[in-house]
Amino acid sequence: MKEQLIQNLIKDGCLKTSAIIEAFQEIDRKDFIPEELKYAAYEDRPLPIGRGQTISQPRVVAFMLELLEPKKGEKIMDVGSGSGWQSALLANIIGQEGRVVAIERIPEIYRIGKDNCKKYGFKNIEFIQGDATVVQKKKGYFDKIVVAAAARKVPESLKYQLKVGGRMVIPIRSSIFLLIKESEQGYIKKEFRGFLFVPLIQ
C-alpha cells in the first residue's frame, strides 16, 4: 500500500525528485501515526495526532518538499514538527552532514514527534519545544525553512534566520507561499492557492 501511494504521488506530479522519493520510501508514515489509525497510514489524507494537530496529507508534504528543494548538508528548520514525519523525511534527505531543527510548541506533541523519530536513530535532528516565531538561531543560519501550519503573515524572525539565497515554504491562510531570499530585504514570492492547514500559533 505504501508503494501504491508513492506511485500515485509520482503519477500526479507531486513527487519528482529522486532524493525526496527515496525518503518517502525509507521513512514509513505508519511509524508516525497513533496506533488506532495505522490502518489509514497510506491514505492520502491528514490524520489526527492529538491536541487538535494532524499529520499532513502526503501529497501536501510532497508538494512542499519539492518547493523547498532540500539538499545534502543543508541546515533546515521544520516549524510545527508535529508527528515528526516531515522532520524524518528531511533528515533522510540532507544526510548526516546536514541538520534539521524541529520546533514544536505543544509539549505533548513535541514528545510524540521526538519519540517517533527515535525509531530511525537520526543524529542530525535537533528537537526544540517552544515558539518558532521567537528567534532560535543566529542571523542567516538556515538554508531552508518549512512551516507546517498556516500563518497570518510571514514571521520576521523566520526571515531573519534564513540565509540570503535560501528558500522558505510557508502556508498563509489557504495558500502555500514559496519565498526565495534574494537579499536581506528582497524576496521572490510565488503563491499556490487552495490548501487547508491548522493555524500557526503566533
H helices, E strands: number in the chain: 6, 9
Are 9 and 17 in contact by the 8 Å Cβ rule? The answer is no
Residues 73-89: tens digit of each pLDDT: 999 999 999 999 999 99
What is the spatial distance between Cα 127 and Cα 124, in angstroms, rounded to a whole number? 10
Mean pLDDT of 99-126: 97
Which amino acids are annotated catalytic?
56
Residues 95-105: tens digit of each pLDDT: 999 999 999 99
The pTM score is 0.96
What is the spatial distance between Cα 34 and Cα 150, in angstroms, rounded to a whole number? 23
Residues 132-172: tens digit of each pLDDT: 888 789 999 999 999 998 888 999 999 999 999 999 999 99
Q: Which domains does the chain have, with CATH numbers?
A: 2-193 (3.40.50.150)
